[in-house]
Amino acid sequence: MNVPAERVGRPAYSGQVPEFPYSRLRRWPDVEAENLQAHDATDRLLVDRGVALAAERRIGGEQIAVIGDEYGAITLALTDAGFRGIRVHQDLATGRRALARNAEELGVEGFASHELDGGLLADARLVLLQLPKALAELEEIADAVARWAAPDAVLVAGGRVKHMTLAQNEVIGRSFGLVQPQRAERKSRLIVASEPREVPERPPFPVAATHDGVTIVAHGGAFAGARLDIGTRVLLDALGLSGADSFATRTGNGAARRSTDAADGRSRTVLDLGCGTGALAVSYARAHPDARVIATDRSAAAVASARATVEANEVADRVDVTHDDAASEIPDGSVDVVLLNPPFHLGTSVHTGAATRLFEASARVLRPEGELYTVFNSSLGYRAELGRLVGATEQLHRTPKFTVTRSIRRP
Ligand SMILES: C[S@@+](CC[C@H](N)C(=O)[O-])C[C@H]1O[C@@H](n2cnc3c(N)ncnc32)[C@H](O)[C@@H]1O
């Protein structure tokens, strides 16, 4: 066992964690802004408590798993403190890249990245978790820890007090016999859970539901779960992809649908950017058997969901799903059509930078005169921005809440 020598046999945690240069961490390639940081007080609390518990229980780095480490603060601070062999799971491609870059920048090595699976958690005795926003994601994680970690594993979950709810304790309590919320410190709070319960034979996720003949499969962290989001439905409707009574069919022009059909004999490349569970990609692939469809998302939970959705709808031969940030691996000018239902929440703060990134990515990957179909909450008024970043933008459809636009990539 690889326990840092200076921590072994300490009678009690002294409260001294070696100073780690948190302020040198960066969020890049994620959106950076003055009011957005690459670490928070919860990271520090998790590190401090993690070091204390590891010393008390003689836990080495290879018995520690970290989940939800946004930009690597927890993993890097602990590794820097001497814990080698930590396993870490991050959902976002941006977070994974930020961790790799921060590690290189600070010269910290000796940890390994994993998906949320047995490889991450087998024999782990200490699991440090930045609480996710969605209860479904927390449920999947808590079950995974109870399922795969050591029988004496302790889960320490932390969050900002203003974002925490009693429902989180309940969800953790489904997988752990003892759940102890701690006193708040620096506006953050830890929940310490132990005594993993016996798990059901089947994990609670993924879940599946069928809408208009399309089966959607969702892991806990995927946007909208196995539901079809209202915005997604409005976009499908405008594209004539939501069944016979679609907006495109009703208005008789079918413009959106025709314009995305192959016209010159070559198969079209269509990108579902920020694919979530893959509802847009699969609906498009089913209606356009000749198209080559790429579905991409920065969330690993979304990617796993989209892959399962693609399988469930038997279009795996025509749809590729990739884990990537803002289509960075897709060559410039190589896509004919982009389908986009952009995020407008960044973490728990409303920030339009996330959508702008995807508009810029669309402009980059589209060929000249390629088309971007976007749906957004009408109050957001993205039309001018789309016109500036992509090209001529027209309103295709509007409901009381949502607007669908088509932008033509300027030559
Ligand atoms: C509003 S959801 C739409 C999901 C899906 N297209 C649908 O309509 O149900 C936005 C999706 O964009 C993804 N996303 C946000 N920023 C991204 C980025 N920089 N690169 C790739 N995907 C991103 C999110 O993870 C989320 O799955």
pLDDT tens for each residue of 229-270? 999 999 999 999 986 455 555 555 444 444 445 556 678 999
Identify whether 201 is part of a domain. no
Q: In the listed set 173, 196, 219, which residue is the last one of a domain according to the structure?
A: 196
Distance 87 CA to ligand 1 centre (A): 26
Could you tell me if 240 and 188 lie in one domain?
no
Stated as kind and residue range, the H or E segment containing 86 is strand 86-89
> Mean pLDDT throughout 1-30?
62
The answer, yes or no, to whether any atom of ligand 1 lies below 6 A from the CB of 97, is: no
Which residue's alpha carbon is nearest to atom 25 within ligand 1? Answer: 299
Which residue's alpha carbon is nearest to atom 6 within ligand 1? Answer: 275
Residues facing residue 408 across a β-bridge: 371
The answer, yes or no, to whether any atom of ligand 1 lies below 6 A from the CB of 300, is: no
Q: In the listed set 196, 230, 261, which residue is the last one of a domain according to the structure?
A: 196
Candidate of 70, 92, 96, 223 to mutate for ligand 1, largest count of ligand atoms within 8 Å of Cβ: 223
Which residue's alpha carbon is nearest to atom 23 within ligand 1? Answer: 274
Q: In the listed set 151, 168, 196, which residue is the last one of a domain according to the structure?
A: 196
Write out the two tokens for 30: 């994620």
Alpha-carbon distances, residue 149 vs 65, 170, 206, 287 (angstroms): 9, 20, 20, 44
Helix locations, 186-299, DSSP H: 230-238, 247-250, 255-260, 279-287
pLDDT digits (tens, 9 = 90+) for 321-355: 999 999 999 999 999 999 999 987 544 444 558 89
The answer, yes or no, to whether any atom of ligand 1 lies below 6 A from the CB of 214, is: no
Share of residues in the chain with pLDDT > 70 (%): 88
Candidate of 298, 339, 344 to mutate for ligand 1, largest count of ligand atoms within 8 Å of Cβ: 298
Identify whether 312 is part of a domain. yes
Candidate of 235, 299, 373 to mutate for ligand 1, largest count of ligand atoms within 8 Å of Cβ: 299
Which residue's alpha carbon is nearest to atom 11 within ligand 1? Answer: 274
pLDDT digits (tens, 9 = 90+) for 89-109: 999 999 999 999 999 999 999
Instruction: Tell whether the model's pLDDT for residue 172 goes beyond 60.
Output: yes
CATH number reported for the structural domain that contains residue 258 in this entry: 3.40.50.150
Could you tell me if 137 and 263 lie in one domain?
no
Instruction: Tell whether the model's pLDDT for residue 4 goes beyond 80.
Output: no
Which residue segment(s) compose the domain that 221 sits in? 207-408
Lowest mean pLDDT among 27-31, 181-185, 267-271: 27-31
Could you tell me if 192 and 215 lie in one domain?
no
Identify whether 246 is part of a domain. yes
Write out the two tokens for 355: 């959508």
Cis amide leading into 342 (omega within 30): no
Which residue's alpha carbon is nearest to atom 10 within ligand 1? Answer: 343
Could you tell me if 293 and 262 lie in one domain?
yes
Distance 331 CA to ligand 1 centre (A): 19
Candidate of 345, 358, 360, 373 to mutate for ligand 1, largest count of ligand atoms within 8 Å of Cβ: 358
Distance 355 CA to ligand 1 centre (A): 9
Share of residues in the chain with pLDDT > 90 (%): 83
Spatial neighbors of 244 by CB under 8 A, at least 6 apart, are: none
Q: Are 211 and 228 in contact (CB under 8 A)?
A: yes
The answer, yes or no, to whether any atom of ligand 1 lies below 6 A from the CB of 140, is: no
Could you tell me if 117 and 79 lie in one domain?
yes
Could you tell me if 237 and 329 lie in one domain?
yes
Distance 303 CA to ligand 1 centre (A): 10
Sign of CA dihedral 255, 256, 258, 259: positive
Write out the two tokens for 230: 């209202």
pLDDT digits (tens, 9 = 90+) for 40-79: 999 999 999 999 999 999 999 999 999 999 999 999 999 9
Which atom of ligand 1 is nearest the CA belonging to 326? 20
Whole-angstrom distance, CA of residue 344 vs CA of residue 148: 35
Q: What is the pLDDT of residue 354?
A: 86
Could you tell me if 186 and 214 lie in one domain?
no
Which atom of ligand 1 is nearest the CA belonging to 302? 27
The answer, yes or no, to whether any atom of ligand 1 lies below 6 A from the CB of 218, is: no
The answer, yes or no, to whether any atom of ligand 1 lies below 6 A from the CB of 276, is: yes
Distance 14 CA to ligand 1 centre (A): 44
E strand map for 184-231: 188-196, 207-211, 214-218
Which atom of ligand 1 is nearest the CA belonging to 222? 27
Could you tell me if 293 and 192 lie in one domain?
no
Instruction: Tell whether the model's pLDDT for residue 11 goes beyond 80.
Output: no
Write out the two tokens for 126: 């200490």
Cis amide leading into 29 (omega within 30): yes
Identify whether 110 is part of a domain. yes
Q: What is the pLDDT of residue 34?
A: 86
Task: Give how many domains the chain has, as a whole number.
Answer: 2
Distance 204 CA to ligand 1 centre (A): 23
Mean pLDDT for all residues in the chain: 91
Going by the DSSP 8-state scheme, the letter that residue 410 receives in this structure is P
The answer, yes or no, to whether any atom of ligand 1 lies below 6 A from the CB of 298, is: yes
Using DSSP's 3-state secondary structure scheme, residue 23 falls into helix
